[in-house]
């Protein structure tokens, strides 16, 4: 058994608490109630056993958490619940946005002592102040939050700050998968493409020799001579 560790040395009270949504302060609240869990019990009757019935643990049931604060000019609570209404549900692409809500117990000097963290939370109702002429009470608004359970931690670090890790080992270089360690074969050189033989131009016929001028004259003169007339 762990030693009993009391927080009263830090002088906390029921008024020294803060509420954060996704690590951001939601505002100063005067009351937070509903941090409880119930385990359903299933009874099994055994034949021949008349002394008792067997009791087995069943589902966990977490009650909704209610936050109350004085009425201010901030409309954050109304805007938050507007996200889960019909109009806000359509604007978000029909996706329900869930948040992480932390209720943190603080010491008198501002130290975080204990944190209850609601998982996958979303608002389900909002209530405004009650007006009455017979009362001078402060105006109060409240919001009811549904969730899927909570975790408890002591001295939790502020949201968004991760504790530094000492002695962190250097990361090894990542190796890609399906890479063979065998040396690659040299690529084969392609043989140069053979050039088609150039076609030879046809040989030119030798030009006819020109006859001298006197040969032309004798030939023409012979052609002009008429053949001798035949004798009758």
Tens-place pLDDT, residues 87-146: 666 777 777 888 999 999 988 888 899 999 999 999 999 999 999 999 888 899 999 999
Q: Which two tokens stand for residue 151?
A: 């975790």
Closest CA to 145 of 81, 215, 190: 81
Distance CA(103)–CA(124), nearest Å, equals: 18
Q: What one-character DSSP code corresponds to residue 14?
A: T
Let me know if residue 218 belongs to a domain. no
Q: What one-character DSSP code corresponds to residue 165?
A: P
Q: How many domains does the chain have?
A: 1
Output the CA angle 219-220-221, nearest 5 degrees.
Answer: 90
- N residues, the chain: 232
Which domain does 144 fall in, by range?
11-154
pTM for the whole thing?
0.60
The CATH number of whichever domain residue 150 belongs to comes to: 2.30.110
Most confident range (mean pLDDT) of 23-27, 146-150, 198-202, 204-208 is 146-150
Let me know if residue 228 belongs to a domain. no
27 compared with 114, residue with greater pLDDT? 114
Tens-place pLDDT, residues 43-96: 999 888 889 899 999 999 999 999 999 888 888 888 888 887 766 667 777 778
Q: Which two tokens stand for residue 8?
A: 């009263």
Give the HSE-up count for residue 84: Cα atoms under 13 Å, Cβ half-sphere: 17
Let me know if residue 15 belongs to a domain. yes
Distance CA(104)–CA(156), nearest Å, equals: 9
Let me know if residue 71 belongs to a domain. yes
Helices (H), the chain: 76-82, 86-91, 213-224
Let me know if residue 163 belongs to a domain. no
C-alpha dist (Å) from residue 196 to 193, 199, 200, 227: 9, 9, 12, 63
């Amino acid at each position: 058994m762990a030693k009993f560790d009391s927080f009263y040395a830090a002088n906390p009270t029921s008024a020294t608490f803060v509420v954060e949504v996704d690590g951001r302060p939601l505002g100063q609240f005067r009351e937070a109630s509903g941090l409880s869990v119930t385990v359903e019990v299933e009874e099994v009757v055994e034949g021949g056993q008349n002394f008792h019935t067997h009791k087995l643990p069943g589902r966990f049931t977490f009650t909704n958490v209610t936050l109350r604060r004085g009425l201010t000019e901030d409309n954050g609570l109304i805007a938050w619940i507007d996200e889960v209404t019909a109009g806000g549900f359509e604007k978000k692409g029909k996706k329900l946005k869930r948040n992480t809500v932390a209720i943190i117990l603080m010491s008198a000097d501002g130290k975080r002592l204990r944190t209850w963290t609601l998982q996958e939370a979303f608002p389900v109702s909002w209530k405004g102040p009650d007006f009455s002429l017979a009362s001078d009470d402060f105006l109060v608004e409240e919001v009811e939050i549904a969730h899927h359970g909570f975790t408890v931690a002591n001295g939790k670090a502020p949201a968004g700050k991760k504790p530094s890790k000492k002695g962190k080992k250097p990361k090894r270089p990542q190796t890609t998968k399906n890479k063979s360690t065998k040396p690659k074969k040299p690529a084969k050189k392609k043989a140069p493409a053979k050039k088609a033989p150039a076609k030879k131009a046809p040989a030119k016929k030798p030009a006819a020799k020109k006859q001298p001028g006197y040969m032309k004259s004798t030939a023409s003169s012979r052609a002009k001579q008429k053949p001798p007339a035949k004798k009758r």
